[in-house]
């Protein structure tokens, strides 16, 4: 069964600290993996997208890694800011019926406190 599991479910850190969010998936065949940030009351916004051959991709203070062999990904946030408080959703794209189908993780809810 195609699944995407994220951990932790929620996380509280102090402003300025780093954190790492985890994503394990069993989606096959695999097309790409995306990390989205969703602020409260807003739609998800793409942070990174990685294909099978990419191991790491950065977007400012956000760095995503991908190990396609172990089917694991992480999102590292450096020097956190209050504005990083949001839900972070891991989304894996697989091909089903000839079309890209997105499988969503449940998200990690991050709270950055001053």
Partner 1 sequence: DAGVIQSPRHEVTEMGQEVTLRCKPISGHNSLFWYRQTMMRGLELLIYFNNNVPIDDSGMPEDRFSAKMPNASFSTLKIQPSEPRDSAVYFCASTTGAGYGYTFGSGTRLTVV
Neighbour count for residue 40 (Cβ, 10 Å): 8
Q: Given the complex with partner 1, which of 65 and 108 has the nearer CB atom?
A: 108
The reply to whether 11 sits near partner 1 by the rule CB under 8 A is no
Instruction: Figure out which of the listed residues 48, 65, 80, 93 binds partner 1, where binding follows CB under 8 A.
Output: 93
φ/ψ of residue 9, rounded to 5: -70, -35
DSSP count for the chain of H helices, then E strands: 0, 11
The site string for partner 1 over 40-79 (x = CB under 8 A, - otherwise) reads -xxxxxx--x------------------------------
């Amino acid at each position: 069964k195609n699944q995407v599991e994220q951990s932790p479910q929620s996380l509280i850190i102090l402003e300025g600290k780093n954190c790492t969010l985890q994503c394990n998936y069993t989606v096959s065949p695999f097309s790409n993996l995306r990390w989205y940030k969703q602020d409260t009351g807003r739609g998800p916004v793409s942070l990174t997208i990685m294909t099978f051959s990419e191991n790491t991709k950065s977007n400012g203070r956000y760095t995503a890694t991908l190990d396609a062999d172990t089917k694991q990904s992480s999102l590292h946030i450096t020097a956190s800011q209050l504005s990083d408080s949001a839900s972070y959703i891991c989304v894996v794209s697989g091909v089903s019926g000839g079309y890209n189908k997105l499988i969503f993780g449940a998200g990690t809810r991050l709270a950055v406190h001053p």
